[in-house]
Amino acid sequence: MAIGLIIIGDEILSGKRRDQHFPKVLELLAERGLKLDWAEYLGDDPARIVATLKRTIASGDIVFSCGGIGATPDDHTRQCAATALGVPLVLHAQGRANIEERIGDMARDAGTTADLNSPENLHRLKMAEFPQGASLIPNAYNKIAGFTVGTHHFVPGFPVMAWPMIAWVLDNCYSHLFNRQPHSEQSVLVYGSMESTLNPLMEALEADYAPVKVFSLPSVGDAITRGHIELGVKGEPSLTASAFADMCAQLTGMRIEFAPCVTSCDAPV
């Protein structure tokens, strides 16, 4: 199953907030021997969110969606998920109980008594309105849950809440997928050569060691590092090791200058 990430919010697209979810989700997945297959950024546009969710739900992918599940006018994700699924939003009983517990906690901390029927507290219950049939994702930070429908998992935009919730979903729903495909990556830094020169070598390696993938990442360099191409292979560890040895031998035979890449020459995932 492919794994995807959707990050929602005008504040990300406008630059008012810097996205932190993408690198963290990569980290959470890598720790479990998984990888991210795709990611999309969306603004607070209900029509676009609905269209995206309809497409991703139909794909059967595992999808994490960050943002837009609050109760302000620019939070559309809960309703958009319901629309995409063709089901109503309903007040989740346990989700409501969690919010009421949170309201009580806040009142006690302030030295007052909670009025669960006040307009502002009734409005907070909107955060427990989820697509019919949804299950909860616990939120240890403030008890206000996210939700799951099928293989789609919706969490808040706040990293302090979202990241533990994503980890919880992975550990409780997908542990059977952990470390099923051993993976390694090895590369070198190639100097004084063009990608066009390296293309025949790259194509031959992919043909001879399929399904190992070959990659090239050009860099213009900086005051410290010379311009170079990071040339490497990635895939099943033993096959990758053979492809890497062959790649280095061929580079030597072509009299192309190269040096070890310290950061990714041997990076098992």
CB 78 within 8 Å of CB 69: yes
pLDDT, tens only, 44-84: 999 999 999 999 999 999 999 999 999 999 999 999 999 99
Instruction: Please state, in angstroms and rounded to a whole number, the distance separating the CA atoms of residues 134 and 137.
Output: 10
| Percentage above 90 pLDDT, the chain | 93
pLDDT, tens only, 101-114: 999 999 999 999 99
> Following CA atoms 10, 16, 18, 22 in sequence, which dihedral angle do they give, to the nearest 10 degrees?
0
Write down the pLDDT at residue 268. Answer: 37
b or e along 186-212 (b: 16 or more beta carbons within 10 Å of the residue's beta carbon)?
Answer: bbbbbeebeeeebeebbeebbeebeeb
- Tally Cβ neighbours within 10 Å of residue 94: 12
pLDDT, tens only, 235-269: 999 999 999 999 999 999 999 999 998 654 444 33
- Tally Cβ neighbours within 10 Å of residue 78: 23
Instruction: Report the mean per-residue pLDDT for the chain.
Output: 95
Write down the pLDDT at residue 181. Answer: 82
pLDDT, tens only, 162-220: 999 999 999 999 999 999 888 899 999 999 999 999 999 999 999 999 999 999 999 99
